[in-house]
A and B are shown apart, each in its own frame.
Chain A
Amino acid sequence: MQQKVEFEQRVHKALSDSQLRQNFRSTMDGLMAKRSQAFPDKERLEKLRLQGAQIRANALLKLPELLEQLEERCTANGIRVHWAETVEQANQAVLKIMQDHNATNLIKGKSMVSEEMELNHFLEQHGIEVLESDLGEFIVQLAGEPPSHIVAPAIHKSRQDIARLFQEKFPDIPYSEDVETLTRSARDILRRKFYEASIGLSGVNFAVAETGTICLVENEGNGRMCTTIPDVHIAVTGIEKVVEKLSDIPPLMELLPRSATGQHITTYFNMITSPRKEGEKDGPREVHLVLLDNGRSSIYEDPELMESLRCIRCGACMNHCPVYARIGGHAYGTTIPGPIGSVIEPQKLGLDRFGVLPTASTLCGACGEACPVRIPLPKLLNRLRFEQVRDDPPDNTMGKGSQRSIRESLVWNLWSWANTHPALYRLGCLFLTRLRGLVPKQLGVWTRVRKAPAIAPKTLHELAREMGIEDE
C-alpha cells in the first residue's frame, strides 16, 4: 500500500497549490472548448470516432503481420529497424547508434516513448548530453521535472515561473515575462544546438506499414529540425503505433489535432520514408526506427484491455477528466497521466505498485466520450479496480489481487449476504433508521469539509409501502 500513501501525498500537494490548480483548470477548460468548436457537427464526429476506432482496432488485430511489413518496407527504403523487448534494450539500441558515430550529444523532438524509456537519464549516465527541443519539454528539462501533460508538457508552470527559470539558467538574456520574448529566446538558444547536432531523435505518431512511412505531428518545427538537420535520425516508437495503409492517415489526422488542441491540423505533418537519397541536398544520411514492446504484448493478450493500445495520445481524456484537471499530471507519478495513464501504466508496472491509479477516477464517463478512438476508458478503469482485489483467473494483469484486503472483502461479503436475505436486510434497515441519532457528527476526513451523511428516518421500502406500492 506504499504507493497509495505516496500518491495521496502527491495529490495533497497538488491540491494545496492554488497556482497549479488555476493553471490546470484554465488550460483544461480552454482545451475542452477548443475541441468542441473543432467538431461543430456532432453526428459527423461520432462517425469519425467509429472510423478511427475501426482503423486502430483492425491494425492491432494484424499487428504482428503489420510490424513485419513495416520492417520490410522500411528496410527496403533504407531505414534501419531495431526491435526492443524492454526499455533497457531500447536504450542500448540508441546508445549503440550514438557510439557508432562517436556522438556526444543528442537533440530531441517530443517523444513520450523516450520518456517511458527514461532515455535522457540513461544517456546522461553514459556521458551523452541530451537536449529537449520542444519548447514545453525544454522548459521542464531546464527545471529538472517530467512533463505534466502529454501534449502540453509545461502547463503546470506560469510565465513568471518560466521567466525566473530562464534568468537562472541563461543569465545573459534580459529578464522578461513576455511569452513571445521567452519563445524567441528559446528559439535562439536551440537554433545553435540544431546547427551543431549530429544526431536527432523523435517519436512517431503513426507508422504506415504499406509504405514504411514514419509520420510526425507538430507545431513548432523542432520535430522537422531534429529529423532533417542532423546526419542521423533515430525514431522511437511503441509497437502499437503502426497502421496498415496510407489511406488510414487522413481519417486519424482529422481526429488527432482536433481532439488534442482543437486545431484543424497541426502546423506541420511530417512524413518520412527514407534517409537522404543519392543526389538529395539535405536530410539525414541514416534513419533508424526503434520498435519498443515494454509490456505492450502482454496488454495485447487481453481482448478487453487490448483496446487501450488503440490510443493515439491526443490527451483529450486528460483534458476532460475532472480528477486530472484538479491534481495535474505529476500527481500520477507515471509517464502517462490521466485516464489512459491509469489504464496503461498499472498494466505495465503492476497493480501492486500502481493499482491506486484506476481508483483516481469518478467514473463520470467524460474520458470515454471524448476519446477519438472510442477506448472504453471507464470500463477499463473499472475492470482494473475489480482485478486488483480479485486473484481468480482468467485475468492476468501483473499484480492482480494485490490490493485485496481482508477487512474490505469481509464487509462486501457481509453486504451481499445481507442483500440476499430479506429478513436480515429488513432488520438491519430497521436498526439503522431507528438508531440514526447515534451516527457520530465527525467522520474523519470526510466531515472536515462536509456534513456527515444523515440517515433517513424511514427506508425506501417503508416509504414505498406507505405510498401504496405493493411488494411482489
Chain B
Amino acid sequence: MSNSRENILQRLRRGRPELPAATGEIQIDSLAWDLEQRINTFCDRMASVKAEVHMVTEGDWPTKLRELAADRQLSNLLYAPKGPLAAEIESAWTENDSCTKLITREESVDEWKQELFYQVDGAVTSVRSGIAEVGTLILWPTREEPRTFSLVPPVHFAVLKAENLHHTFADAMEVEQWRQGMPTNVVLISGPSKSADIEQTLAYGVHGPTELVVLLVR
C-alpha cells in the first residue's frame, strides 16, 4: 500500500499536461448590503426553507425561547451548561415555572447517548454568525457546545445576533479569517433536515431536526 502513494504521485507528475494555469481575476460584483437588507434577506431565505425566525432583543430572547418551547409542548430542552447562552437561559427558567424542563449534561455524549437519541425533545445552541444571501447559520461547535446538540434532537433552537450576519459565505470566511485555523467541525445549517428522494416531493425531518427555530437578536 505504501507504494500506492508514490505510484499515484509519480503518474500524476509524469502525466501532468503542459497547460498554462488559468489566470485573470473574474470580477463578480455584489453590492454591499446594509444590516436591514441582510436581515430581510436572511428572513426571506429562512422562511423559504421552512425555518421559523423570531425577532428578539438581548433582554427578551430567553423568555421567548421558553414560550416557543412551551407552545410546542416540549417536555424538555437541552442546553450546554458552560456554553455562551447558559446563564441567560437558566435565569429565564428560574423566574418562571415552565412545562418544559431544562436539561443539561456535562459528560461526553457517549455516556448519555441513549437519552440524547430517545428522550431529548429539543435543544438550543448559539450560532457564531450567519450568511444573509442564502439564509444560513454558521455553527462552530466547541468543547462547551457539542455538535450533536444541533443534530439529534427533533427541534433545534438557534440564537443568532443580527450584527453577525454576513452578506455572503465568502465574506464570512474572509472577515472571520477561517484559514487561520479550522476547528474540528464547522457546520452550515439552512433549514430543517429534508429530503426530496421520493418523487421529488419535499418531506421535512429526515435524519436531522424536523424543525429549525431561529431567534434573531437585535
Q: Judging by beta carbons under 8 Å apart, are A246 and B178 in contact?
A: yes
Set B5, B15, B108, B206: member contacting A282, Cβ < 8 A? B108
* B109 shortest CB reach to chain A, Å: 4
**When each residue 32-51 of chain B gets 1 if its CB lies under 8 Å from chain A and 0 otherwise, what string results?**
00000000000001000100
Tell me the nearest residue of chain A to B150, going by C-beta: A224
Interface segment among A186-194, A321-329, A379-387, A462-470: the answer is A186-194
CA distance in complex: A274, B17 (Å): 33
Task: Spot the interface stretch: B52-60, B64-72, B92-100, B188-196.
Answer: B188-196
In the complex, chain B residues whose CB is within 8 Å of the CB of A317: none
Tell me which of A81-89, A351-359, A433-441 binds B.
A81-89
A83-B8, A250-B169, A267-B190 given; A282·B1 CB < 8 A? no
Residues of B within 8 A of A139 (CB): 197-198
Cβ B195 vs Cβ A224 within 8 A = no
Q: Which residues of B contact A158 (CB under 8 A)?
A: 199
Question: Which B-chain residue is minimally distant from A63 (CB atoms)?
Answer: B12
Among B117, B133, B198, point to the contact of A183 (Cβ < 8 A).
B198
Shortest C-beta distance, B136 to chain A (Å), equals 6
CA A166 to CA B188, docked complex, whole Å: 32
A236 to B1, alpha carbons, bound, how many Å?
16
Q: Contact at B188–A275, with CB atoms within 8 Å?
A: no
Chain A residues with a Cβ closer than 8 Å to the other chain, count: 100
Q: How far is the CB of B212 from chain A (nearest CB, A)?
A: 9
Q: Are B195 and A183 in contact (CB under 8 A)?
A: yes
- Do residues B17 and A300 form an inter-chain contact, with CB atoms below 8 A? yes
Pairwise interchain contact B1-A47, C-beta atoms closer than 8 A: no
Q: How far is the CB of A53 from chain B (nearest CB, A)?
A: 7
Can you report 14 A-B residue pairs in the complex whose CB atoms are below 8 A from each other? A50-B26, A67-B12, A71-B5, A83-B5, A139-B197, A159-B201, A183-B195, A186-B206, A210-B179, A225-B207, A228-B147, A267-B190, A268-B208, A297-B12
**Closest 7 pairs between A and B when the two form their complex, measured CB to CB:** A221-B208, A301-B15, A136-B197, A303-B17, A221-B207, A269-B188, A183-B203
Using CB atoms and an 8 Å cutoff, list the residues of chain B in contact with chain A. 1, 4-5, 7-9, 11-19, 21-22, 26-28, 45, 49, 107-110, 113-114, 117, 131, 133-136, 141, 143, 146-148, 151, 168-170, 173-174, 178-179, 182-201, 203-209
